[in-house]
Amino acid sequence: MKTLYFKILSKSESSYINPQRDEIHMLALKTGETKILEGEEENIIQKFVEDFKSYDPDRIIGFKQDYEDFPFLMERAKKYGIKLTLGRDGSVIKSSGKYFRGLILKETKINGRENIDLFAISWRDFPRLPTKEIDELAATLGIKDFHAIPQFRLKEKSDEALKDYLGEYLHVLERITDAIIPFEESISEICQVPLDRQIRMTVGELIDVIVVREMKSRGIEEMRVGGKGKYEGGYVWLKAPGVYENVTYLDFQSMYPSIIKVWNISPETVDMDNGEWVEVEEVKHRLNRDKRGVIPQLVDNFLTRRIKIKNELKVKYSRRLDAQQKALKVMANAMYGYMGWSGATYYNRNAAELIAALARHYIKSVQKLIEEMGGQVIYVDTDGIQFVGGDAEKIMDKINREYPLNIELERVVRRAVYWTKKKYAHLWDSIVDAVGLEYIRRDYPPLIKEAQRKIVQLLLNGDVEGAREVRREYRIKLKNGDFEIEEIGAVEQLTKKPEEYEKVTKASVVAKILKEKYGVEVHRGAYLYIAVVKGSGGPTHRARPIEMVSVKDIDVDYYLSMYDDTINRTFEPFGVSPTKQWF
């Protein structure tokens, strides 16, 4: 497909562009070659429209173009009376949106062309990324050494530096596209939903498309079974905080599809006035196993196709085939959540509850089996089971033979540390993979997160003195104000309009300031970069947008307290003090 990548830069005063006041400073587009448009704003817009129509792209790809670039372009074009007739039929582009997981998910419609905003993919398919920004997405895909320049810093850069940055930005966009679009196209093929629509749908909505199609073909009408009451979910267990060597991590992610298949659990097979009673983990429901359910049939199809593709991959690797097998796994795993999703056309809370209960039963049984075979289980959650000792190959073989499961070896970890449930880190192949730690959250300042990340890496490698030195080094930097203002900015999401908050939050305070000082209307779901300054009152009332303050304004004592609490907790399970002498 003919693809056009583009990005707009503006030298705004704040971290957010005001389309009525700020101007387009540069516009970069890539159609095979990269062009940087600069000069008079009106000429930039006209030249972009000309180049766009001349190239006639099938697909437009950017990052946050639906939130930033297109709305900005539309407002500035209006000033000069320029019509953005970018549709293949000569129509103007249009903006729309929907509420999606706490975010206003916007879309720019361009008739006859696919508009792919990679931010929509980052938001839905990379939930562990703290802010879902382009440099985070690039890094998790193995695209190293790219750092997005904060919007309020652009005004400090020379035009030559900005041109270099735009060229690098478009190159990163292209690499991200190459890495993730084959997977997204595979999802679209499975669901039979166009790519530009698919990426803006929840996983539940995509599953709904498939299930509705199959249910209707069997003449089964939509249903709602079991009400909206909560039910017990996965089983999470930790033996004890501490450090463990040579940990085997078995993947449970195919457990739910396997249970669905074996037990024939589907919305139309659970508590529909016929079938046998099934009681497990203090959960009891009637289950019809005589007639194959729609969802078990779909899961079976997905898993069968996946096995076939994986066998082909053993003969010859293909990136597209690999993307297809991953997409089939994702869709199979999502079937369990669909049945308990309140938005499902075929909603059956009881079916989801039964699957969760069976999963807890099997996980506990596997835990017992591992212990009986000489392993010592350290940690269990819905993703898998982690243990030391025992013969991993024999254990996996016995599990897969005796239980209706398909357990896979995720990894063997050289060293692992556990703080609490859902908070641990693994060291394997020189990589540290963390779950639940502060440095992978967005509500902690980058300076503190960077210190913790380095300390965890050093401690897992047994370098206690190195970790202590890092702790000391970063504490001195913080105490002396030796940092850039963005290194202290924590991120908080605006979950509703500022005036709708009954109790003020840092985000609501900052959103009001942005509107009053810069005329910026921050949309619901936006992430705000916040610093706490000196003054009277609690930290919430002293929250400010990072672009409004300097390092000398920062309440260093507030951040030192946060730093010490975070780093001291980090050292605890290793059984060593953060310093030889506390101070």
pLDDT at 524 over 60: yes
Q: Which two tokens stand for residue 62?
A: 């950017």
> pLDDT band at residue 523, thresholds of 50, 70 and 90?
confident
Mean pLDDT of the region 226-233: 89
What local confidence, expressed as pLDDT, does residue 583 receive? 41
What local confidence, expressed as pLDDT, does residue 582 receive? 44
What local confidence, expressed as pLDDT, does residue 72 receive? 95
> pLDDT band at residue 240, thresholds of 50, 70 and 90?
very high
Q: What angle do CA 576, 582, 583 make, to 5 degrees?
A: 150
What local confidence, expressed as pLDDT, does residue 581 receive? 56
pLDDT at 360 over 90: yes
Three-class SS of 8-45: EECCCCCCCCCCCCCCCCEEEEECCCEEEEECCHHHHH
Prediction pTM value: 0.90
Residue-averaged pLDDT of the chain: 93
Task: Give the model confidence (pLDDT) of 465-499 as tens digits.
Answer: 999 999 999 999 999 999 999 999 999 988 888 88
What is the CATH code of the structural domain delimited by 485-553? 3.40.1820.20
Q: What is the DSSP string of 74-141?
A: HHHHHHHT-----STTSPPPEEEEEEETTEEEEEEE-TTSEEEEHHHHHHHH-TTSSS--HHHHHHHT
Q: Provide CB contacts within 8 A for 334, sequence distance 6+.
A: 203, 204, 206, 207
Helix axes 349-372, 255-263, angle to 10 degrees: 110
For residue 531, give the 3-state DSSP assignment. strand
pLDDT at 97 over 80: no
Per-domain residue ranges of the chain: 3-199, 204-433, 437-481+559-574, 485-553
Count the Cβ atoms, other than its own, within 10 Å of residue 515: 14
pLDDT at 442 over 50: yes
Higher pLDDT, 582 or 569: 569
The residue whose two tokens read 């289950």 is 287
% of the chain at pLDDT higher than 70: 98
The correct answer on CATH 3.30.420.10 for the domain covering 3-199 is yes
What local confidence, expressed as pLDDT, does residue 520 receive? 83
Quick one: which of 58, 181, 66, 185 has its CA closest to 117?
66
Q: How far from the centroid of its chain's Cα atoms is residue 568's Cα? A: 28
Q: What is the largest CA-CA distance in the chain?
A: 77
Give yes or no on whether 204-433 and 485-553 have one common fold: no
CATH of range 204-433; options 3.40.50.1970, 3.90.1600.10, 3.40.109.10, 3.40.50.880: 3.90.1600.10
- Yes or no: say if 64 and 43 are a contact pair by the CB < 8 Å rule: no
> Amino acid identity of 69?
D
Question: What H or E segment, with its residue span, contains residue 302?
Answer: helix 294-315
Separation CA 160–CA 40 (nearest Å): 17
Q: What angle do CA 456, 460, 462 make, to 5 degrees?
A: 120
Count the Cβ atoms, other than its own, within 10 Å of residue 25: 18
% of the chain at pLDDT higher than 90: 83
